[in-house]
Structure 1
Amino acid sequence: MATGDRRVVIIGYDQAELLDIACPSDVLDAANRLGVTPRYEIRLASMGGRAVRCASGLTLAAQVKLEQVAGPVDTMIVAGGWTYLEQAEDQRFLDQVRRVARMSRRVASVCVGSTLLAAAGLLDGRRATTHWFYADKMAEHYPAVTVDPAPLFIKDGSVYTSAGVTSGLDLTLALVEEDHGAVLARAVARNLVTYLQRPGNQAQVSVYVAAPPPEHAVVRELVNLIEADLAADLRTSTLACRAGLSTRHLARLFEQQLGSTPSRYVRGARTRAAARLLESTRLPLTGVAARCGFSSTETLRQAFLDHFQTSPSVYRMVHRRRAAAG
Structure 2
Amino acid sequence: MFTKINAESKIVIIDDVATNLRLLDSCLRAVGLSNVTTFSDSAEGLDWLLSNHWDLLLLDLDMPAPDGFEILERLNTRNRTESPVIIVTALSDQQNRRKGLEKGANDFISKPIDLPEVLLRVRNCLELAQAAKLLRDVNGELERKVELRTVQLASSYKAISSSLSRAASYRDDDTGNHIIRIGESAALLAKAIGMPAQWCDTMRMAAPMHDIGKIGIEDAILQKPGALTPQEREIMQKHACIGYEILHDPDGSPLTDLAAEIALAHHERWDGSGYPKGLRGNEIPLSARIVAICDVYDAIRMPRAYKEAWDIERARRYIIEQAGTHFDPFLVDVFCNLFDEIDRLSVPNAKTG
TM-score tier by shorter-chain length is: under 0.3
The structure that is helix-richer by fraction is 2
The structure that is strand-richer by fraction is 1
Normalised to the residue count of structure 2, the TM-score between the two structures is 0.25
Q: Tell me which of the two structures has the higher relative contact order, counting C-alpha pairs closer than 8 angstroms and 6 or more residues apart.
A: 1
